[in-house]
Structure 1
Amino acid sequence: MRRNNTIALIGLFMLMRLSVMAQSDLLLSNPGLNAQSYNPASFIDHGMINLHLLARQQWIGFPDAPSLQRLGVSSFFENRPMGMKFNLVNQVAGKEITRQANLSYAYRVHFSGGLQLTMGVSAGIYSRMIKFSELVFYDGNEPLIKPDESYFLPDFDFGLELQRDALTVGMAANHITTSAPKATLFKIPAHNHLYLAYRLSLSDDATLQPMFSWHKQGKLNVFQIDANLNFNNVFMAGLGYRQNDAFLLHVGLNVNEMIGFMYSYDIGATRFSNYNSGTHEFMLLVRLQKKSATFLSPRFID
């Protein structure tokens, strides 16, 4: 009897988490791409066209666990201090499906002393679908007699990123047209992000980059800490911790100047981690040479 009650409580907790996460953008475990995913001012700037394909599956073994697929292309122009990127996102949490498409534009201002400020804006649309027809009552296993519903809404983001030598400081606001009190089942609440990173040179071939970030997503307040080693711009390994959620492991490999892979694994940091086998995140990065461009650095984290 106690075991059944425990399982029921765990199931209720996970469903509550699903409900909250369904109204939030999933945070990525790849620390470099994470900032680029929510900040329209954050770019990989090495004179190439960057394409990435990412897949994330949370809580392996738990039914209807959150998942995300992301396709993006970005480029920072060489002759002008500006860049553009386009992203497509498909996110599923329980019986809720969110799809997003947005186009970002960023402009960079250079100051004396090597200081540079990048300002970015993003505009697009997102759709929210609730599969009411697949919701069932536990008592009697009867479906909810209600048709599926979906809505399309405009979406806007804003971000800043300040860089000087090895220091990077950034902030971003997503879904800025919907304040938290006005959020509904179909309107994603505003998200706010702050982050700070510093790249330390350990040797001619190795760097260490600690990163601290804070994320306000509707009702969620999340702090995350990461530390990543980069060896000769070929191999990367790192550790991280996301508050009240998981410990993070990262590994990455640049096969050559054109292709890179990244894998992250989240180890649950709560007692409910015993009921799933963690979270997996895979990313493929393809870099395309632009005409008369020079390849500078295939870093995972710039």
Structure 2
Amino acid sequence: MKKIYIQKYYLILIIGLILSFQFEVKAQQRPIFSQYMFNGLVLNPAYAGNQPQLSISFLHRDQWVNVEGAPKTNTLIAHTALKDRPVGLGLLISRDKIGVHDDYSIYGSYAYKLNIGIGTLSLGLQAGFNYMASDFRKLSTIDQNDALFAGSVSRFSPNFGTGAFFSNNTTYAGISIPYLINNKVYKKEDFVSEAKEARYYFVTGGHVFTVSPTLKIKPSALIRVQEGQPMGVDLNTNVFLQEVLNIGLSYRSGDAATLLFELLLNKHLSMGYAYDHTLSQIRNYTDGTHEFMLTYRRSLGKGPCHAYF
């Protein structure tokens, strides 16, 4: 039992250091979502108001189940198109918790839409801030006098980003840099880390194929580039049945294979779930990742509320 406890302690400590401080290792700093293909605003501010509707989603992600101190993320995603104006507005509110660290963020988005004949091109901006608080007093350290893990710290970090998003009835493609400022990650009396937030670059695309009036298939992909890290690729396939049930499979390079579904409960409300089967070495410590989503949509025009992207 003691050996297992020690292994878990060091695992949590290593994860916390990698995700939060970065030191010589650069690692994932922003939350990753599995149902982003239906919440494009988490990747690209130009997605705001993509459909003529109001959309409000709540998403909960429980990453690496059974690993003490593993990331847990709660996110509110809201966006809408403005009637009779080529403008979309969006809002992201999130809390990302890992170990003794809490990261709160609020970002607003603005997208301007241009009709270019073959579809709509949206140009977007987002701005907001992250507030990170770390309480090291909750840690059980080997050296009680280690200044690095004493007391608590907090940091306020404003940021902004931009993106472009093209779409028509069957196809979409986007490119974005949601966070442009490389804020310092950590600063404390007697200790200053040179670690900084890394920029993310996202490229997305997908197409809806109509097989029959009751069956549609949507392959899609995401290229994720983080400064200082190898390029990551997501490959996805979603099958829509009767425009009521969506079943999907995803592969995230070097990280996870995902099974997901979304069920339209009525013309306004849908629920989604995704399970990530971990492929990296941490799979020896966890049963995977669960992600839950609840979405409310209300049409602003004559079109349906449910969208394929």
Q: TM-score, normalised by structure 2?
A: 0.85
Residue in structure 2 matching 1:224, options 219, 222, 234:
234
Q: 1:126 to 1:115 in 2, by over 3 A?
A: same
Q: 1:165 to 1:294 in 2, by over 3 A?
A: closer
Residue 296 (structure 1) aligns with: 304
Match runs of 1:239-278 below 5 Å? 239-278=249-288
Residue 53 (structure 2) aligns with: 48
Q: What secondary structure does 1:202 align onto?
A: strand
Aligned residues: 293
Residue 23 (structure 2) aligns with: none
Residue 193 (structure 2) aligns with: none
Structure 1 residue 161 corresponds to structure 2 residue 165? yes
Q: 1:173 to 1:36 in 2, by over 3 A?
A: same
Q: Is the 8 A contact 1:57 1:280 kept in 2?
A: yes
* Whole-Å separation in 1 of the counterparts to 2:279 and 2:120: 38
Q: What secondary structure does 2:46 align onto?
A: coil
Q: 1:183 to 1:139 in 2, by over 3 A?
A: closer
* Whole-Å separation in 1 of the counterparts to 2:93 and 2:110: 15
* Whole-Å separation in 2 of the counterparts to 1:28 and 1:54: 9
Q: Is the 8 A contact 1:135 1:144 kept in 2?
A: no
* Paired amino acid for 2:94: V
Cα offset for 1:25?
1.1
Q: What secondary structure does 2:47 align onto?
A: coil
Residue 185 (structure 1) aligns with: 186
* Paired amino acid for 2:186: L
Cα offset for 1:116?
2.2
* Whole-Å separation in 1 of the counterparts to 2:52 and 2:170: 19
* Paired amino acid for 1:188: E
Cα offset for 1:15?
4.3
Q: What secondary structure does 1:41 align onto?
A: helix
* Whole-Å separation in 2 of the counterparts to 1:141 and 1:244: 38
Cα offset for 1:66?
0.4
* Whole-Å separation in 1 of the counterparts to 2:234 and 2:226: 13
Query: Per-residue displacement from partner, 1:199-243 (whole Å, max 9, x unpaired)?
Result: 111111221111111112344442111111111221000000111
* Whole-Å separation in 1 of the counterparts to 2:65 and 2:252: 18
Residue in structure 2 matching 1:129, options 119, 128, 133:
133
Residue 119 (structure 2) aligns with: 115
* Whole-Å separation in 1 of the counterparts to 2:155 and 2:148: 20
* Whole-Å separation in 2 of the counterparts to 1:21 and 1:33: 26
Runs of 4+ in 1 over 4 A off after TM superposition: 10-15, 138-145
* Paired amino acid for 1:75: T
* Whole-Å separation in 1 of the counterparts to 2:16 and 2:250: 23
Residue in structure 2 matching 1:19, options 11, 17, 26:
17
RMSD of equivalent CA atoms: 2.8
Query: Per-residue displacement from partner, 1:241-269 (whole Å, max 9, x unpaired)?
Result: 11111110111101111110000000111
* Paired amino acid for 1:20: I
Q: TM-score, normalised by structure 1?
A: 0.87
Q: Percent identity?
A: 23
Q: Is the 8 A contact 1:137 1:143 kept in 2?
A: no
**Structure 2 segments unaligned to the other structure (5+ residues):** 21-27, 188-195
Residue 92 (structure 2) aligns with: 87
Residue 192 (structure 2) aligns with: none
